[in-house]
Amino acid sequence: ASSLLLCFRTSLVVPLIFGLLLQPPLTQLSIVTQPNIVLLMADDLGIGDVGCYGNDTIRTPNIDHLAKEGVKLTQHIAAAPLCTPSRAAFLTGRYPLRSGMDAINNYRVIFWNGGSGGLPPNETTFAKILQRQGYTTGLIGKWHQGVNCESRNDHCHHPLNHGFDYFYGMPFTLISDCQPTETPEMDRAFRRKLWLSTQMIGLVTLTAALGRLTGLISVSWKTLTCLAGFSLLFFVSWFSSYGFVQYWNCIMMRNHEVTEQPMVTDRTTSLILRESISFIERNKHKPFLLFLSFLHSHTPLLTTEKFLGKSSHGLYGDNVEEMDWMVGQVLDAIDKEGLKNTTLVYFASDHGGWLERHEGKRQLGGWNGIYRGGKAMAGWEGGIRVPGIFRWPGVLPAGTVINEPTSLMDIYPTVVHLAGGVLPQDRVIDGRDLMPLLRGTVEHSEHEFLFHYCGIHLHAVRWHQKDSGSIWKAHYVTPIFHPLGAGGCYDRGFCPCFGEGVTHHDPPLLFDLSRDPSEAKPLSADTEPLFDTVIKKIGRATEEHRRTLTPVPEQLSVYNVVWKPWLQPCCGTFPFCWCDKEGDD
């Protein structure tokens, strides 16, 4: 009887022990099941504009609390210092020149909704992979990756063709031209040249006509007619696009439908917030991906009455504080639906703050803290080092700070793996899965080298020497600041990538960011014993990297960038494009 009892107990205990051994821990279970993913991306926000990154005058309590509950990255790097290429890299996990989204000229971003360039249809975004894994995917806010290729309604570059089930927002980007009371921003210097040329041609035509009438100039009426016709055609050729920027670029869309043309800026913030919360509420019962791409804090700094005049930093500070409030509203919606513990939340900016952006004494751009440079500068840290915060309660350790080099491109493999997807095998993916680093199961980032491009021009390379902790950075090209020592290109409004506005360095400028994060004191062979070794190591890595590049069509070529009337999204019969469907509702 005792032996039978022992056998019976054994038969119960053994399966129980095996069951316990095979049962995965709670955190592992959370990773196996597909979490909701909410990606929050600010526009033009400087790393120095956020409280948890050192700002003590602009109030960002919700972003700060997100960092307190999660993981803060201190060396989070954008793949480009401007919107279009940085976001292309974010969406694809690849350096933007791999997809043709980095410029060979001075047109470094998508310039028109009616242009033909954009994120190529053959690129596989993380949204497309998550869509295949059963996620409902949504993009609310800014896109700036193009719309059409060959016809007004082919939508080849549109979010819905890149893995998003739902889109509400701007297919372009916010610019001061969208606010009639603001000074026009888009291609300002070129527009001045066009106006001047028009006036000169008009003056020549008028002078010739008066000369003919007074008999002072011998010119035929036929010649005068041709000259007048040319003057008119020249004016129409550029004014048909630049004269109506607000109608062509400042539009809102819901999926493929244009809902506001031009957009009504007074209600844009509330509509974007409403759409974001509604998306969460509609999709709470199954895994979803929400990419909330803020229009904040890009000029013209659309800010509601509630926040105007509330900050210590003028309109820009007001705008950042309003964005922080919006972050809080989205986080509250996640909590309200009981999704906090099953949702990975990520917050970042697409690149550094715009130092040169000001109107008179009003500073309209961001602050990059201790870091040198800003928006449009690919080499200096201020142009590419951005906030990076992750929160996932129960999975990621709260209050963690990670000083390892990471990239916005890392979001791609991270969310793909969390969704149970597989990375594309037919192309190079430059991002690395961040979950082991975020959870603390590994000590170092997988990135040994990061390459910093300005357009297609390599400006700098970073080497993470893991055995010593040094983070070396070699600058091959740097912009020439004006005025000298000012820290930005205030004469141009943007620092260039090539030409007379840059300096080439041979040997390159070398910094150790672990000792000199502000890049204030370049090293030399006299001051750094490892100088030659480091430069050679970075040079070999650059050669290997360049061997992985293959030629692709240039999406930002002059032809692709220029406005094409037949590609312009229009909610009426072109050119009579006007509607306010939100107002009608």
**Which residue has tokens 């990375």?**
423
Given 76, 83, 158, 570, the catalytic residue: 83
- Give, as one character, the DSSP assignment of residue 523: B
Given 76, 144, 351, 459, the catalytic residue: 144
Is 474 in contact with 508 (CB distance < 8 Å)?
yes
Is 115 in contact with 148 (CB distance < 8 Å)?
no
Residue type, 42: A
Residue type, 158: H
The closest alpha carbon to 333, from 380, 364, 292, 382, belongs to 292
Is 451 in contact with 416 (CB distance < 8 Å)?
no
Is 442 in contact with 464 (CB distance < 8 Å)?
no
DSSP assignment of 132-163 equals: HTT-EEEEEEE--S---SSSTT--TTSGGGTT
Asked if 256 is an active-site residue, the reply is no
- d(CA 519, CA 539) in angstroms, rounded, equals 20
**Cα radius of gyration rounded to whole Å, the chain:** 27
What does the block give as tokens for 179? 């606010």
Is 460 in contact with 476 (CB distance < 8 Å)?
yes
- d(CA 346, CA 74) in angstroms, rounded, equals 14
**Which residue has tokens 């033009």?**
44
Is 39 in contact with 66 (CB distance < 8 Å)?
no
DSSP assignment of 207-224 equals: HHHHHHHHTSS---HHHH
Helix or strand (DSSP H, E) at 36: strand 36-42
Asked if 144 is an active-site residue, the reply is yes
Is 320 in contact with 45 (CB distance < 8 Å)?
yes
Residue type, 33: T
Positions annotated as catalytic residues are: 83, 144
